[in-house]
Amino acid sequence: MDFNKVGKEAQEAINKCRDLSELEEISRRYLGRKGVVTSAFQKIAELSHQEKREQGRQLNQLRGKLEKEIEQKRQGLKDSFFQEKSERKIDISRPGKRFKAGHLHPLTQVVRRIEDIFQLMGFSVAEGPELETEYYNFDALNIPADHPARDIWDTFWVKGAKKGQKNLLRTHTSPNQVRYLEKNHPPLRIIVPGMCYRHEATDRTHGFQFMQVEGLMVDREVSLANFKAVVEKFCQMFFGPETEIRIIPDYFPFTEPSVEVSIRDKDGRWLEIMGAGLVHPNVFKSVGYRPYEWQGFAFGVGVERLAMIKYGLDDLRQFYQGDLRLIQQF
Amino acid sequence: MIFDYSWLQSFFKKKLPTPQEMAEVLTQHGFETQLAGQVFDVSIPPSRAGDCLSHLGLAREIGAILNYRLNYSVDPKKIKAGKTGFKVSVVDSELCPRYGLSAWSGITVGDSPAEITSRIKAAGQRPINAIVDLVNYLMLETGQPIHAFDADKIRGSITVRLSQAGEVFVSLENKKYRLPKGLLVVADQAGILALAGLKGGIQAEVTRETKNIMVEAANFNSRIVRQAVKEFDLRTEASWRFENGLDPSWVDFAQRRLRDLGQPILKPDKIELVADIYPKPVRDKSISLDLTWMRQLLGVKISTQQTEGILKRLGFKIKVISSRKLKVEVPSWRLDIQAPEDLVEEVGRLYGYDQIKSDPPQALLIPPQVNHARFWQRVVEDLMVHLGMNETYQYSFLSARELSLFGYPEAQAVELANPISARYQYLRFSLLPNLLKSARENSKRFGQVELFEIGQTFYRPDRERWTLAGVLFDHQADQEKFYELKGVVESLIERLGITDAWFDDYQAEDYFGGSKTWHPSHRAEVKVGSKVVGFLGEIHPILADRLGFQNPVFAFEIDLGQLIELASEQQEYQPISPYPAVIRDLSVLVPETTSIEKVIYVADLTGGDLVRDVDLVDVYQDKQLGQGKSLTLRVVYQSTEKNLSALDVNKLEQKIIKAFQQEGWYLRQPDND
């Protein structure tokens, strides 16, 4: 067998080869089980010792060379194949395939954000019942029966009374100031989110059902300036770092002084977002604290209001219509 | 209350800022003001209704804010007591702390001068005649309601007393009121002349023919006036002022002011004081104010001088006790000032909250407590969203019709005493009625609707249940949807780490499942241990039809409070076996009534530790199978200790097959295709 000739032929075949399957065919032809080179190895068994050594060496050389050449060619063919393939462009403008996922209600997203921000400032999240007693909703908050201030909160009363105790749907989350103070010792910082109800006509900005978040901080010394710092931080984290706030007087029986907090919108108008103030000593008194021993601030923020400002909605009732066309935008 | 800009201006020599500026100034100082041309609509806070429901009151406040001097005075000369012989008595001085009456005789009733009619018109009232206009004007100016009786129509003496049950009062509008026992009335010997602080009667009505009047300026207790307001659901200009409590010193002041104002208009022959019954004069109140405490509360260093200045402008009288203590005497009209914190507000309010700089509180660095329920609520909400459900909030109310439609017992539902309308008469017993309504609306626009809600439901006696509910609707739905629904609930249970939850046949008992809510044979209970925590299934076809669904609709409702109590964050890590798993399918024919859960359970139990998992991969039902169903189970065999040989697996498989046979279930040969 002429090794040179075989080697040359094989080399030519490899050089000419244009695709992988042809290359594998060449590989089989020379190096396969019945291939030219493999058969030659079988034949040298019949030769003399001397020839065996000589031809064996040459055959090994040839096999090694072919293996190397084929492998090189293989890599080359693969590379150009992938290169060619990579040049085919896909249409990236075609819409992506969407996976089905639901949506969290915007009010939930707003409440979560409020909770997260206040938790960063050390406020714990507490809860209280929606079906409240007259005591917690009014009396304990320095709003005795027959007090004209009760008219601020048009109330849904529940039918039937037990032992003169009337139940109602809470008109605000403030009863939880009292509930929490009764069971915990200051210093403390809490927020209480929850649904509230008022017996009033609904319009774009008023609902008979709405969500509020109550806030309360109690310590030995808590000032209005402290409240201002906390609420400013909150507003900047919620609405953006440039947010401006304004604090003006307001009236609530359970805070003294009482204030109203507004933020400035794009058009320079002030939008009211919460009522607040320093906890009235009578509230501390009704939970059995010695008056003037503790101080605190409290606030109540309307969740729908924040959501409307944040997302640019103009009708509060939309939040309660369960319309997927709205919810799926959030 | 409506205020007239030029009327307010009349209290000052100095020119007031423009109406726009005034509205802004008032708003910034606690009096939210809307401007309409030359009049303001001001919401007077309840705490200030006692002294600011009048032009004088608001002018006083404006003077304090702007530091303007009030140019207003009333002749201090007392009205002389006459010898009229007319008797006045007050039965309860608690309910009527002060009662003043003067007699004007020989008056002429004509039209009011233009200044008076134009001002009362600007303030929103209709001119009637010179007497009525005058008393209305006086109230709008001073805040003290005044009533004028035709003296010739009063029979005998006047008594301020409590009503007897069944007494009749006829108002100026000729409306009859039957009184209960215990309302405060002004009466003569024949009957009731007025509901104290609320309304005058027709009996002693003044007209253009009136010659002699009795003018009443009184101080009625706010509670008793409110009682009458509530009794008749009637609020008048007078009651609005009395309800908030008024300064008793105004009784005398208003009589004198009326004399100044009325003399040239009504031209009486004489004005005599008939009575001024004031047995317990209110004493001046003084409060001691700790300036250090005040500065600390406001968080700003307001000087003693500034503090004094502000309080003086508001009419308080100051005595300096020490460098840190003031004795503050409260003007008689400021009934709202009771304690030092009220003074702090006054100082802060006029100093301006915008002048107070933010000062972050110093507090112990205590991390917030983790709220277990809130934590898991987020987990549940996120899971629902991942499963493709959309969150909604619905109103918490239901109608009686909805209760009966769903089969919720009316006796167990919480009813409102004063609902907005019959549609919202009950508190929701379940989340489903409103959620389904919402699903129905959405189904008009969407092929598939998947909604959920987390909220409170309510039941007697006035209890709440924290509830999760979901609704699945598909225009192409078939029975398979039930299992999609069940999959949602299973994912929930798994996510909460609850291991002993299971599904049981529905048994009608008195928990929160409505008796007409669920499809009688496509419903189940969700149980944890032996406790029912919820329901799932197809909505009853009759109900679905009533609600307007044209295709089956599926729902679940779960007591989230109970479920979350059982939730656990602890996930135990199961080591991954280094040995390969062997997977084999078994097809078994079982009676139609046999629960699939039981078949899986038998396979799992029989296989023991070496069976890692048994899954249902197919259910096949066909007429050829008669009353049975064919289940294909995928059994995963794996050991954590060794390679399982084919022989090991065969043995286990035979064991399972034998166990199946003992139950009367036989293998089907898997089809070859």
pLDDT tens track for B1-11: 999 999 999 99
Asked if residue B383 lies in contact with residue B521, where contact means CB atoms within 8 angstroms, the answer is no
Interchain CB distance below 8 Å, A199 and B297:
no
Sign, Cα dihedral of B44, B49, B55, B56: negative
Asked if residue B560 lies in contact with residue B373, where contact means CB atoms within 8 angstroms, the answer is no
Q: Which residues, numbered 42 to 71 in chain B, qualify as contacts with chain A under a Cβ-Cβ cut-off of 8 Å?
A: 45-49
At B226 the three-state DSSP class reads helix
Interchain CB distance below 8 Å, A257 and B389:
no
Interchain CB distance below 8 Å, B416 and A156:
yes
At A117 the three-state DSSP class reads helix
Across the A:B interface, residue pairs with CB atoms under 8 Å apart total: 228
The two domains B2-66 and B285-350 share their CATH topology (first three levels equal): yes
Asked if residue B55 lies in contact with residue B137, where contact means CB atoms within 8 angstroms, the answer is no
Q: How far apart are the CA of B162 and the nearest CA of chain A, in angstroms?
A: 18
- Any bridge partners for residue B318, and if so which? B328
Mean pLDDT calculated for residue range B102-131:
93
Q: Fill in the DSSP letter of residue B415.
A: B
Asked if residue A246 lies in contact with residue A231, where contact means CB atoms within 8 angstroms, the answer is no
Asked if residue A307 lies in contact with residue A212, where contact means CB atoms within 8 angstroms, the answer is no
Helix and strand element counts for chain B (H, E): 20, 30
Interchain CB distance below 8 Å, B388 and A321:
no
Give strand ranges (E) for B386-508.
Answer: 390-391, 397-398, 426-427, 448-459, 463-474, 501-505
Interchain CB distance below 8 Å, B371 and A125:
yes
Closest by Cβ to A103, choosing from B359, B373, B385: B385
Dihedral of the alpha carbons of B68, B69, B70, B75, in degrees to the nearest 10:
180
User: Counting Cβ atoms within 10 Å, is residue B617 exposed (0-12), middle (13-18) or buried (19+)?
Assistant: exposed
Instruction: Please report the pLDDT score of residue B509 as a whole number.
Output: 62
**Alpha-carbon distance A209 to B606, whole Å?**
56
Instruction: Please report the pLDDT score of residue A233 as a whole number.
Output: 96
Q: Report the chain A residue with the minimal C-alpha distance to residue B389.
A: A102
Interchain CB distance below 8 Å, A102 and B384:
yes
Position B318, amino acid: I
Residue B12, phi then psi, degrees to nearest 5: -130, 145
Q: Which residues, numbered 464 to 493 in chain B, qualify as contacts with chain A under a Cβ-Cβ cut-off of 8 Å?
A: 464
Instruction: Please report the pLDDT score of residue B513 as a whole number.
Output: 65
* Architecture field, domain B88-277: 3-Layer(bba) Sandwich (3.50)
What does the longest C-alpha to C-alpha distance in chain A come to? 127
Mean pLDDT calculated for residue range B541-556:
94
Interchain CB distance below 8 Å, A131 and B462:
yes
Residue B243, phi then psi, degrees to nearest 5: -55, -30
* B373 CB within 8 Å of a chain A CB: yes
* B170 CB within 8 Å of a chain A CB: no
Closest by Cβ to B392, choosing from A101, A105, A258: A105
**Alpha-carbon distance A243 to A232, whole Å?**
8
Tokens linked to B317: 């009288």
Interchain CB distance below 8 Å, B415 and A112:
no
Tokens linked to B64: 């304090």
Residue B391, phi then psi, degrees to nearest 5: -85, 140
Band (pLDDT 50/70/90 cuts) for residue B585 is: very high
* B345-366 tens-digit pLDDT: 999 999 999 999 999 998 888 8
* B223 CB within 8 Å of a chain A CB: yes
Sign, Cα dihedral of B552, B553, B559, B565: positive
Closest by Cβ to B243, choosing from A119, A148, A209: A148
At B143 the three-state DSSP class reads coil
Which of A107, A114, A118, A131 is the best residue to mutate to test the B interface, defined by the most B CB atoms within 10 Å of its own CB?
Answer: A131
Chain-centroid distance, C-alpha B457: 17
Interchain CB distance below 8 Å, A248 and B384:
no
Which of A99, A110, A116, A228 is the best residue to mutate to test the B interface, defined by the most B CB atoms within 10 Å of its own CB?
Answer: A228
Which of B244, B396, B431 is the best residue to mutate to test the A interface, defined by the most A CB atoms within 10 Å of its own CB?
Answer: B396
Q: What is the CATH number of domain B2-66?
A: 3.30.56.10
Instruction: Please report the pLDDT score of residue A5 as a whole number.
Output: 86
Closest by Cβ to B396, choosing from A157, A209, A225: A209
Position A326, amino acid: L
Q: Report the chain A residue with the minimal C-alpha distance to residue B383.
A: A102
Q: Fill in the DSSP letter of residue A318.
A: G
* B309-343 tens-digit pLDDT: 999 999 999 998 888 999 999 999 999 999 999 99
Residue B623 has pLDDT above 80, yes or no: no
Q: How far apart are the CA of B236 and the nearest CA of chain A, in angstroms?
A: 14
Q: Fill in the DSSP letter of residue B416.
A: B
Residue B673 has pLDDT above 70, yes or no: no
Interchain CB distance below 8 Å, B356 and A225:
yes
User: Whole-number mean pLDDT of chain B?
Assistant: 92
Mean pLDDT calculated for residue range B617-639:
84
Q: How far apart are the CA of A312 and the nearest CA of chain B, in angstroms?
A: 19
CATH 3.30.70.380: does it fit domain B582-667? Answer: yes
Cβ-Cβ contacts under 8 Å, A104 against chain B: 381-382, 385, 391
Instruction: Please report the pLDDT score of residue B512 as a whole number.
Output: 63
Tokens linked to B34: 């809307």
Interchain CB distance below 8 Å, B385 and A323:
no
* B666 CB within 8 Å of a chain A CB: no
* B471-523 tens-digit pLDDT: 999 988 777 889 999 999 999 999 998 888 888 888 766 556 677 899 988 99
Tokens linked to B340: 């030092």
Fold of the A106-327 domain:
BirA Bifunctional Protein; domain 2 (3.30.930)
Quote the pTM value: 0.85
The CATH number of B285-350, from 3.40.190.10, 3.40.50.2300, 3.30.56.10, 3.30.450.40, is 3.30.56.10
Q: Which residues, numbered 565 to 624 in chain B, qualify as contacts with chain A under a Cβ-Cβ cut-off of 8 Å?
A: none
Q: Report the chain A residue with the minimal C-alpha distance to residue B367.
A: A122
Instruction: Please report the pLDDT score of residue B625 as a whole number.
Output: 64
Residue B65 has pLDDT above 90, yes or no: yes
Per the CATH hierarchy, to which homologous superfamily does domain B372-565 belong?
Bira Bifunctional Protein; Domain 2 (3.30.930.10)
Instruction: Please report the pLDDT score of residue B349 as a whole number.
Output: 95
Q: With CA atoms as reference, report the closest residue to A135 among A159, A160, A170.
A: A170
Q: Which parts of chain A have pLDDT scores under 70?
A: 1
User: Counting Cβ atoms within 10 Å, is residue B529 exposed (0-12), middle (13-18) or buried (19+)?
Assistant: exposed
DSSP H or E run through B162: strand B158-162
Q: Report the chain A residue with the minimal C-alpha distance to residue B225.
A: A146
Instruction: Please report the pLDDT score of residue B510 as a whole number.
Output: 52
Q: How far apart are the CA of B231 and the nearest CA of chain A, in angstroms?
A: 13
Cα B239–Cα B241–Cα B243 angle in degrees, nearest 5: 65
**Alpha-carbon distance B447 to B442, whole Å?**
9
Instruction: Please report the pLDDT score of residue B669 as a whole number.
Output: 66
Q: Report the chain A residue with the minimal C-alpha distance to residue B396.
A: A209
**Alpha-carbon distance B321 to B671, whole Å?**
104
Domain boundaries, chain B: 2-66, 88-277, 285-350, 372-565, 582-667
* B444 CB within 8 Å of a chain A CB: no
Cis peptide before B461, with omega less than 30 degrees from 0? yes
Tokens linked to A121: 């400032």
